[in-house]
A and B are shown apart, each in its own frame.
Chain A
Amino acid sequence: MLIDGLLIGGLIIVVGIGFSLCFGVMHIVDFAVGEWVMLGAYTGFILVRYFGHDPMIYLPLVFLIFCALGWAIYPLIYRAVSGKRHNPVLMGLVFTFGLSILAKGGALSVWGYHIQSITTWLSGKSLALGPLTIPALRFSGFLFGILITLLLMLFLYKTRLGITIRATAQDREMANLLGTDVRKVGALVYSLYAGVTGMSGILIGALFSIHAAMGVKYCTLAFFVVVLAGMGYVPGVIIAGLILGLLQSFVGVYIGGRYNLVALFMVMYGVLLITPKGILRRGI
């Protein structure tokens, strides 16, 4: 069960990192994060239905599709949060909240209330690790999470572009003074975030189920992870994601699955009261 929690954590981390980057660099709290997951899941579902093959091979394609979508939507978000508005963070919140409702409503009218699922060749299989049996799909979701996280961290910490992104998150105006086109950095981050989140949607859709309202859950989880990690502090997301995964499975087994959200919010409330900058005290 401990393992189970850690396994779910892997995917949550991926969603959380994008969400955290987005806040760190652009000060956008993206309410539509769950809808990116939902749309990613549906995209995977449709690709499988019309073209066949295993959903796993569509991961890179979905990544690209959602990168493009993020890139296309970014100018609108930028307009909402930049310039003369009095409260850009609130504007971003309202704007993405609108996006989220739009996406949810759209999905509902196109696909209706039916709950769909994606089956992969890994579904129903399991791995035996000594005395433990681990569902293969969960394990691959975890591996995927770790892999994407590692790639993102490598990108952020080892490349010049990554340094620029971190610098922009720390002091946007200074980065701008040093010749960085901060608007382009924002577009890049948003597109990367949309791509990664959409791509995780396929795995989340394969692990659980797909329906128009599935996003809310992941929005809550992303919020939780990022609050725990400290807003905008990316490395904290990894620890927070694992804690969240563990918390969910413990509560699920010992107290009951329906108390999951209650437990989450209690922990979140506690963290905000005691250490509002996150458990590692490195948030903004």
Chain B
Amino acid sequence: MLEVKQISVSYGLAPALWEVSLSVRDGKIVAIVGSNGAGKSTLMKAISGLIHPGEGTIEFDQRRIDHLPPHQVARMGIAHVPEGRRIFPHLTVIENLKMGVLPIKGQKRAQEILNNVFNLFPILAERQRQLGGTLSGGQQQMLAIGRGLMSDPKILLLDEPSLGLAPIIVDMVFEVITRLNSQGQTILLVEQNAFLSLEVAQYAYVLEVGRIVLEGEATKLIDDPHIKKAYLGE
């Protein structure tokens, strides 16, 4: 479904990604594990069109998307939930969710998805009229994911969904990720928390200083000695 082939990205003279390739197949959760500054967010931004790779191609459903602007990438079915949640602070919860709806989807479908989002996150239904900026961190993360889902995406890009959240909320977010996937949602997950993401993902890539150094089935990577040493603290 999503094919990233040999992309390189640099900010000015500093290379951020170096010949990175990865593929995400329909219905899977794929995780990208790596420490701070490894280039994970850069990779996400390249996929969603916020930055354009200097070399390499990105294909989505057999169409090249690496030179499209973000709004066109979004309309093709890629929802990027960026790091830091990026809730519109002065819009209400329901207005934030409405911003996620693509005009091409139609009213009826939008209502169905909204019900599904409220089902996943009942707290959002309760706080519909509250301003986004006044929600707690965990609620904002739920809103950010919910807003991403409102476009009925073919693939959901989640960038650091556990960042800055209390452990109990992190568990809840990951439960939702698993649940979404069991409903058929394809997810590309970027996380510093390697253990959690390898637990929910089927396949994973390890990114270190801008290069993919390791990839494989998530269950196998959990037992890999390098991973254990570098990311799981064992």
B140 within 8 A of A: no
Shortest distance from the beta carbon of A152 to any chain B beta carbon, whole Å:
16
Contact A163 B50 (CB under 8 A): no
Most buried by B among A160, A164, A175, A179: A179
Q: Chain A nearest CB: distance from B212 CB in Å?
A: 24
Q: Is the CB of A170 within 8 A of B90?
A: yes
**Residues 167-223 of A contacting B (Cβ, < 8 Å):** 167, 170-171, 173-182
> Is the C-beta of A138 less than 8 angstroms from some C-beta in chain B?
no
Q: Is the CB of A163 within 8 A of B95?
A: yes
A27 proximal to B (CB < 8 A): no
Flag whether A277 is at the interface (Cβ < 8 A): no
Asked if B70 CB lies within 8 Å of chain A CBs, one says yes
* From A163, A166, A171, A180, contact of B71 by CB (8 A): A180
Given contacts A174-B82, A177-B82, contact A163 B98 (CB under 8 A): yes
Do B151 and A178 touch across chains, with their CB atoms under 8 A apart?
A: yes
Known pairs A163-B95, A166-B90, A166-B91; A181 contacts B71 (CB<8 A): yes
- Measured between alpha carbons, how far is A160 from B98 in the docked complex, in Å? 8
- Residues of the B chain whose Cβ atoms lie less than 8 Å from the Cβ of A179: 71, 74-75, 102-103, 151
Q: How many A-B residue pairs have CB under 8 A?
A: 60
Nearest CB in chain A to that of B96: its residue: A167
Determine if B91 and A170 form an interchain contact, defined as CB atoms under 8 angstroms apart.
Answer: yes
Q: Find chain A residues with CB under 8 A from B80 CB.
A: 177
Contacts of A164 in B (CB 8 A): 99
Whole-angstrom distance between the alpha carbons of A180 and B104 in the complex?
12
A178 contact from B50, B89, B90, B100, Cβ within 8 A: B100
Bound Cα distance from A272 to B96, whole angstroms: 31
Given A178-B147, A178-B151, residue A163 in contact with residue B82 (CB < 8 A): no
Q: Tell whether B18 is near chain A: CB-to-CB under 8 Å.
A: no
The count of chain A contact residues (Cβ–Cβ below 8 Å) is: 18
Interface string of B78-94 (1 = CB under 8 A from A): 01101000101111000
Contact residues, B1-46 vs A (CB, 8 A) = none
By beta carbon, the residue of chain B nearest A166 is B91
Q: Is the CB of B86 within 8 A of A171?
A: yes
Chain A residues whose CB sits within 8 angstroms of the CB of B95 once the complex forms: 163, 166-167
Residue in A163, A181, A282 whose CB lies within 8 Å of B99: A163
* Assembly CA distance A129 to B91 (angstroms): 41
* CA distance in complex: A164, B102 (Å): 11
**B48 beta carbon closer than 8 Å to chain A:** yes
* B69 at the binding interface (Cβ < 8 Å): yes
Which one of B90, B99, B102, B103 contacts A175 once the chains associate, using CB atoms below 8 Å? B99
How near does chain A come to B75, taking the closest CB pair, in angstroms? 5
Considering the complex, give the chain B residue whose CB is closest to the CB of A233.
B90
Q: Is the CB of B88 within 8 A of A174?
A: yes
Partner among B74, B89, B91, B96 whose Cβ is within 8 Å of the Cβ of A177: B74
Measured between beta carbons, the chain B residues less than 8 angstroms from A163 are: 91, 95, 98-99
Chain A's closest residue to B148 (CB) is A178
Residue among A176, A177, A181, A182 with max Cβ neighbours from chain B (10 Å) = A177
Residues of A within 8 A of B75 (CB): 179
Which A residues lie within 8 Å of B103 (CB)?
179
Contact B88 A166 (CB under 8 A): yes
Chain A residues whose CB sits within 8 angstroms of the CB of B69 once the complex forms: 176, 181
Contacting pair B88 A177 (CB below 8 A): no
| A167 B88 Cβ-Cβ under 8 A | yes
Residue of A nearest to B92 (CB): A163
Can you list, as one digit per residue, whether each of A118-159 has a CB less than 8 Å from chain B (1) or not (0)?
000000000000000000000000000000000000000000
Smallest CB-CB separation from A175: which chain B residue? B99
Alpha-carbon gap, A266 to B173, bound state (A): 52
A165 to chain B, nearest CB (A): 11
Cβ-defined contact, A167 with B48, below 8 A: no
Closest A residue to B133 by beta carbon equals A170
Shortest distance between the CB of B134 and any CB in chain A (Å): 14
Which of B71, B88, B90, B99 has the most chain A CB atoms inside 10 A of its CB?
B99
Q: Give the residue of B70, B90, B147, B151 whose beta carbon is less than 8 angstroms from that of A176.
A: B70
Given known A-B contacts A177-B74, A177-B80, A180-B71, A171 and B88 have beta carbons under 8 A apart: yes
Q: Is the CB of B71 within 8 A of A167?
A: no
10 further A-B pairs in the complex, CB-CB below 8 A; given A166-B91, A180-B71: A163-B99, A166-B88, A167-B96, A173-B50, A175-B88, A175-B99, A177-B70, A179-B102, A182-B71, A282-B90
Chain A residues at the B interface, C-beta cutoff of 8 Å = 160, 163-164, 166-167, 170-171, 173-182, 282
* A-B pairs with lowest CB-CB distance, top 9: A179-B74, A174-B86, A176-B70, A170-B88, A167-B88, A181-B71, A179-B102, A167-B99, A179-B71
User: 12 A–B contact pairs at CB < 8 A?
Assistant: A164-B99, A167-B88, A167-B91, A170-B89, A170-B91, A173-B70, A173-B86, A177-B71, A178-B151, A179-B103, A179-B151, A182-B71
